[in-house]
Chain A
Amino acid sequence: MTKLMQWLAAVGLFMSIWLAIVLDMISLNIPDSKKEILHALPVYILIVFACYSLALIGYRVATFNDCVEESRELKEEIQEAKKELTEKGYKFD
């Protein structure tokens, strides 16, 4: 099963249960005051997911390591490499 099929199956399953409840095909005796929340549930879930995603990406950008030390080390090693290679007869130009 492709990832697309898995996603369609999961979303389809959720939406059919949601629809069945909204259309009163399954009666859960939900009071009218709570029905509004139920009706908007898919939209709420989308909004929460979007906020979660943005927060997570923001956090990961902020904590993305800057490898300053590694860059400095590499520069030193490049100097060392050039020196040693020249001694071994390598011709840089």
Chain B
Amino acid sequence: MEANRKYSVLLPTYNEKENLPLIVWLLVKVFTDSGLDFEIIVIDDGSPDGTLEAGKQLEKIYGKDKIVLRPRKEKLGLGTAYVHGMKHATGDFIIIMDADLSHHPKYIPEFIKKQQEGDCDIVTGTRYVGSGGVYGWDFKRKFVSRTANYIAQVLLRPGVSDLTGSFRLYKKAVLEKLVESCVSKGYVFQMEMMIRARHFGYTIDEVPIAFVDRMYGESKLAGKEIVDYLKGLLYLFANL
């Protein structure tokens, strides 16, 4: 692996006081073991639980060049969190992932290897192919997830097996361009990023990942979530 490349991890957080030190520890371990240059940019949206204070402790332990705290006053959405984080990113590549430990940093070296093999613009984690999978999902959740994914595959034919995943590596300029042009929110935002990426002719490769859902509860799969997903899907279907 080339040593002169730098990777910026963007971690948007909201009430992740428990998980932040753990994900940071795992990230530092993976990057250090692989000998890669990195920084972790924590974008905390005014969490009332003290996530920012946890971040400050980590900044002291690992140094200001590794842990970059860029908090915002209030919850402002994912797209703007990426824009905000990228303004301060000094890496050539941006890695986005969830801070709740559902995405394990151990896959990052695989993402980087995949990126370098084909010099592709985006590498996305996929739960749906090969050794990819999930932990903590019951039958209903799996069924809804597979069905939602199937409908998106049929309607949009994106050439990407996991459209709603949010564990991805981007070339910095590519992510800047995509965030600028995407208008959706939530799951649909991740989906729109992939569809627009295809439109712009960006190359995308995939790495199978295990998605470990530790927080999953029944309430998470609300009817509203499904309706919003379908609405977003139809929006992309009609406009892209």
Contacts and interface: CB of A to CB of B under 8 A. Distances in A.
Nearest to B131: A65
Interface residues of A, number: 28
Interface residues of B, number: 38
Nearest to B57: A90
A67 B146 contact: no
Interface in B102-123: 104
A57 B128 CA distance: 12
Given A70-B212, A90-B57, A90-B61, A64 B21 contact: no
Contacts of B25: 81, 84-85
Q: Which of A56, A70, A88 has the most CB of B within 10 A?
A: A70
A3 B150 contact: no
Contacts, number: 84
B146 A65 contact: no
A34 interface: no
A4 B211 CA distance: 32
A71 interface: yes
B157 interface: yes
Interface of B: 21-22, 25-26, 57-58, 60-61, 101, 104, 128, 131-137, 139, 142-143, 145-147, 150, 154-157, 210-212, 214, 236-240
